[in-house]
């Protein structure tokens, strides 16, 4: 797929820390319960750390106790791209930034969380930046 923002691998490596590169560009996963935004309750907008595209609003973030930030809906239906992921002997749905193609995490359905969409966008903190709302 062609993305609005495309860069050579060397440029991504230069712009991102090694940990950010592993998650965002190589579909890695940060360890559970260590991410910057796992327990954050700050009101604001979460954006892609790689390109700055707005992805999620804090009012769709919820406590799932899974070890990563969880959201029940993207900020805009076109903000993320969903891709079948058959790695690690599982079938999951990968969540990518639709602007630059960076890996964000996975989305799960039917887990019984009391959210309006019955979805849990399980997103790596390291793939996000938070822009707090101005009071």
Tell me the pLDDT of the chain (135 aa) as tens digits: 689 999 999 999 999 999 999 999 999 999 999 999 999 999 999 999 999 999 999 999 999 999 999 999 999 889 999 999 998 898 999 999 999 999 999 999 999 999 999 999 999 999 999 999 986
Neighbours of 62 (CB within 10 A): 14
- Cα torsion 98, 104, 108, 113 to 10°: value is -110
Of 48, 97, 100, 122, which one is the catalytic site residue? 122
Record the pTM: 0.94
Specify the number of domains making up the chain: 1
What CATH code is carried by the domain that includes residue 86?
2.170.150.20
Determine the structural domain holding residue 25 and report its residue range: 9-132
In a domain, 127, yes or no: yes
Active site residue 97: no
Token couple for 25? 């560009």
Q: Which helix (H) or strand (E) holds 70?
A: strand 70-71
Q: Which residues contact 43 (CB under 8 A, 6 or more apart)?
A: 58, 59, 132, 133
């Amino acid at each position: 797929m062609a993305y609005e923002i495309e860069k050579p691998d060397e440029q991504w490596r230069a712009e991102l820390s090694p940990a950010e590169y592993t998650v965002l560009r190589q579909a890695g996963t940060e360890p559970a319960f260590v991410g910057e935004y796992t327990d954050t309750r700050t009101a604001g907008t979460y954006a892609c750390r790689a390109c700055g595209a707005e992805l999620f609003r804090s009012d769709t973030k919820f406590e799932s106790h899974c070890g990563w930030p969880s959201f029940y809906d993207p900020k805009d239906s076109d903000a993320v791209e969903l891709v079948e992921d058959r790695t690690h002997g599982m079938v999951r749905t990968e969540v990518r930034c639709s602007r630059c193609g960076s890996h964000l995490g996975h989305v799960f359905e039917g887990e019984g969380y009391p959210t309006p969409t019955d979805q849990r966008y399980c997103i790596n903190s390291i793939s996000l930046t938070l822009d707090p709302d101005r009071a």
